[in-house]
Chain A
Amino acid sequence: MGLFLQGFLSIFDPMTFLFVTLAIIGGIIIGAIPGLTSSMGIILLLPMVYKLPPEVSLLVMAGLYCGGMYGGSISAILINTPGAPAASATVLDGHAMTKKGQAGKALSTALIGSFFGGLFSTLCLALIAPQLAKVALKFQAAEYFSLSIFGLTIMAGSSTKNIVKGLISGFFGLLISTVGIDTIVGIERFTFGNPYIMGGFSMLPVLIGVFALSQFFEDAERKKGVGLEIIKQDLSSFMLNSKELKGILPAMLIGAVVGTIIGIIPGTGGAIACFLAYDIVRNLSKKKDQFGTGLIEGVAAPEAANNGTTGGALIPMLTLGIPGDVTTAIMLGGLLLIGVRPGPLLFVERPEVVYSLLSGMFIIQFMMLGLGLAAAKISPKILDIPPMLMMPIVAVFCVVGAYTLGNSLYDVLVAFAFGIIGYFMRKRWYPGAPMVLGVILGPMAEENLNRALVVSRNDWGVLITRPISAAFLIVSLLSVIWAFYSARKKAHVKKTCHK
């Protein structure tokens, strides 16, 4: 208890408070810019982290991490471009709310969802970190593979009226992920001798192309800006009322739980959590058909999930020394740099560092709430910029964002190519989200399938004899069958009504 109190007091030290505030603001800004991620922000921070005491370094990195997760929702909601992969699901309903003039409400919903998710996962981190770490250890190769298939089928089945198109999009994403040098054996696949695509297609350029550049090309259809008028935003109902808050509570809770669980599984991250949470909430909702048209639940759930991964990802990092995602991997590097070795002995050898982080994470959520409110109030002003000016500027940001990944124009060309593909997909109502998810999950699915088969000596039964893996596969199959059945039922009802 004394260490907790000490941790709480340490964050209120003026210099620490200032650094953490700047880190959260920096995280929100970095998260909001497409192409930049919180992991990149932490990399830039590392030289400074080296000079600070370990407790302060950890809090600064955590502040940037949490701020970055929320920041991604700002561009997702305002300009239909997720600032980070973890905000990809927020686009679905967030931008729809902006088109209805409810950008302020969407941003405040995202903030409240992020706050709730972050707080929930921090509580889990503080109270049951060692128990949750045991769950993480149960996940082996078979479970990772089944989780990938689960995530993909769930997303594909729910993101469109035509499940076949959703599944085509998802499996096309899986196919795209096979391009490049095979990570298992090391031979080239589908490169056709082109050295540039030996590295395959990274997730970020695909994301930027499918979501943002495709929108840019679609808007280019309109002559002389017709149809590109400024959408007046209603900022008077910026905050949610008590009824709306009560309404999104179940969605936020589901999102927070999903996010925390996904976060503790090493190698996953916010991108998977946000889609999973969105789909689970959608399937459980009575307003299932309205998802994608601008429902606040559709914003609250993925945002609670992606910030839920922050605390979740810190659990295996601190308790086992295994990072939960890319950002915590870099944080792990930062900690090693300053002489703090995460792992089972951290709680014993350096308790002041751990408790400082635990108590600091609580305060960070509240700080993020305050700073995020200011960001949510200011950022809709971007929408006052005429779309005729905004769209070209967004296109340049997309180009620069894609370039930032590897300082290479190749990534920009990838974003461009997927922008073209995304444009035609939009025309024929193929959803982009499953394809992006396929690109994210493809490598994880293949590597873990291979690993599972190597360990089991080519016994495919390992996928169904392990309970968690079997559960994921059964739910995946049921969700596909259910989606087909629902679609046929709807078509039949429509046919009957027409007669």
Chain B
Amino acid sequence: MSKVDFGTGIGIMALSVAVFLIARKMPDAKIGIGPGEYPMVVAGVLFILGLVLSLQNIPWKTNARKTVKDIDGKPISLQMIKRPFFMAIVVFAYIRGMFYLGFLLLTPFFLFFAIWFFGYRRYVRAAAISIITTSVIYVVFYYGFQVLLPRFILF
């Protein structure tokens, strides 16, 4: 029994309804399936699955499962997701920033920060690893695989 799964089930049902309503407005096909029919079928199945999930995890069900170890996942606390959330923001900023600053300029800073974030405290070594790794990746992809990685916007 899990409140999170109950909520997820409700959320999936809501998403399915939304998808269904949007897909319904798409044109029908005279023959074969129209563009909206396939998503409607998938949304229908998802709705049923969401309903089953919610029913499996109704919060006010009183049974002995409280003593059974919850095998359906780990509880998500705000404390737990604080660090990944922060790292996600950094990664997003890195990806968006690459458009302006380019791969070569931004990646060493990202790497250095991420290495520090993960707990590595040898700063000189971390800086060297960041620069060398960036250079190696750039050379391999640019010259080896002919992939034009993003460049600094002013060049």
Contacts and interface: CB of A to CB of B under 8 A. Distances in A.
A403 B88 contact: no
Contact of A225 (B38, B72, B118, B134): B118
Contact of B67 (A165, A226, A453, A498): A498
Given A168-B46, A224-B119, A416-B92, A182 B35 contact: yes
Contacts of A228: 118-119
B1 interface: no
B80 A36 contact: no
A40 B144 CA distance: 12
A458 B28 CA distance: 13
A204 to B, nearest CB: 13
Interface in B59-113: 64, 67-68, 71-74, 76, 80-81, 83-84, 86-88, 91-92, 94-96, 98-99, 103, 107, 110-111
Given A226-B119, A429-B72, A458 B32 contact: yes
A220 B32 contact: no
A427 B8 CA distance: 12
B139 interface: no
A218 B84 contact: yes
Contacts of B72: 162, 165, 428-429
A428 to B, nearest CB: 4
Most chain B Cβ neighbours within 10 Å, of A221, A392, A451: A392
A99 interface: no
B133 A396 contact: yes
A449 B38 contact: yes
A424 B80 CA distance: 12
Contacts of A138: none
Contact of A498 (B5, B36, B68, B120): B68
A403 B83 CA distance: 25
B10 interface: no
A364 B118 CA distance: 42
A185 B95 contact: no
A209 B35 CA distance: 27
A16 interface: no
Interface in A392-430: 392-393, 395-397, 399-400, 403-404, 407, 409, 412-413, 416, 419-420, 423-424, 427-429
B26 interface: yes
B120 A389 contact: yes
Contact of B35 (A185, A389, A392, A407): A185
Contacts of B87: 216-217, 220
Contact of A395 (B46, B114, B150): B114
A446 interface: yes
Which residue, B67, B71, B95, B133, has most C-beta atoms of chain A within 10 A? B95
A164 B13 CA distance: 13
Contact of B147 (A174, A220, A407): A407
Contact of A423 (B31, B84, B120, B133): B84
A420 B81 CA distance: 11
Contacts of A223: 83, 119
B31 to A, nearest CB: 5
Contacts of B110: 392, 396
A412 B68 contact: no
Interface in A216-268: 216-226, 228
Given A171-B45, A409-B150, A454-B31, A161 B71 contact: yes
Contacts of B76: 424, 427-428
B123 interface: no
A285 B71 CA distance: 23
B35 A221 contact: no
Given A185-B27, A404-B141, A451-B32, A168 B49 contact: yes
A416 B95 contact: yes
Contacts of B133: 393, 396
A494 interface: yes
B91 A389 contact: no
A429 B50 CA distance: 15
Nearest to B23: A189
B137 A400 contact: yes
Contacts of A387: 118
A41 B148 CA distance: 16
Interface in B119-145: 119-120, 126, 129, 133-134, 137, 141, 145
Interface string B7-31: 0100010000001001100110101
17 contacts: A161-B71, A167-B49, A184-B35, A187-B27, A189-B26, A218-B84, A391-B118, A400-B103, A403-B147, A404-B141, A409-B95, A413-B95, A420-B88, A423-B84, A427-B73, A428-B4, A458-B32
Interface of A: 36, 40, 44, 161-162, 164-165, 167-168, 171-172, 174-175, 178, 182, 184-185, 187, 189-190, 213, 216-226, 228, 386-389, 391-393, 395-397, 399-400, 403-404, 407, 409, 412-413, 416, 419-420, 423-424, 427-429, 445-446, 449-451, 453-454, 457-458, 494-495, 498
Given A392-B118, A450-B32, 13 more contacts: A44-B146, A164-B53, A168-B50, A175-B19, A185-B34, A220-B118, A388-B119, A389-B118, A399-B95, A407-B148, A427-B73, A449-B33, A454-B32
